[in-house]
Amino acid sequence: EVLNNLIAVGQERQVAEAGLNALLNRPSTAPFPPPPELIPDIPAGEWRVDDLIQQALQLRPELKEMEAAIRGAERTLDLADRNRKYPDFFLSWQYWFAPEGEIQDSYGATINITIPFSPWTINKHSKEVEEAGLTVAKSTAEYQAMKNMVFFEIRDAFASLEAARQQLRLFRDALIPQTEQSFKATLAAYQVGKVEFIGLMEAARSTRDIKLGYYRALVDFEQRLAD
């Protein structure tokens, strides 16, 4: 069983190294140095939640897009409100040239005045203002909902990172030293004939499993850090 595991792990390592080399744009057979047995210092963290939230407010594309939508809706509301309060003027100047007519040059002017508070237009403009106001409220509510979701994602990722950090420290500072000490005690007992070989193998297996758990925790920590 041990030999089979070694063969399987060796194959997995070759595949993993080839995949990493492809990601790093290196030759597929480029060597990798062996990983350190244990990481002496676990990164304490480079950010605070409040700093991450401020960065999200400034850089998160979804929030910037929604902010622009709110500004556009507010401008539409302002225009609708002006159309409801103030008259609208339209002035045009026209010129005609008729070479075969008695009067060859003709001129004309047109002035249109829209009175927004007239009985036949006031209801229309009021509805436009109401609709624009609802659009502003809708855009603002969507922005607030997205902002709350972003804040939740940041806090969730940060909490997951801290949990992964604590688990990694538990493996490094407690579980691994305990299992190694237990293995040494079992080995000493085996050497004086107090423990059978199967007991020694079980102690070695436990030590291996704990170290594998440590490396899995390390991978999880790095993934949480990237998130």
Q: What is the DSSP letter of 175?
A: I
Say if residue 5's pLDDT is above 90.
no
Say if residue 166's pLDDT is above 80.
yes
The band of 89, judged by pLDDT with boundaries at 50, 70 and 90, is low
**Contact, 75 vs 139, CB < 8 A?**
no
What counts of helices (H) and strands (E) characterise the chain?
6, 2
Q: What is the pTM of this model?
A: 0.63
**Contact, 218 vs 168, CB < 8 A?**
yes
Over residues 14-40, the pLDDT tens digits come to 899 999 999 999 998 898 887 777 776
Q: 95 has which bridge partners?
A: 107
pLDDT on residue 214: 92
Count the Cβ atoms, other than its own, within 10 Å of residue 66: 19
111 burial (CB, 10 Å; 0-12 / 13-18 / 19+) is exposed
Phi (first) and psi of residue 53, to 5 degrees: -65, -45
Distance of CA 209 to the CA centre of its chain: 34
Say if residue 78's pLDDT is above 80.
yes
- State the alpha helices, DSSP H only, in 24-48: none
pLDDT on residue 91: 79
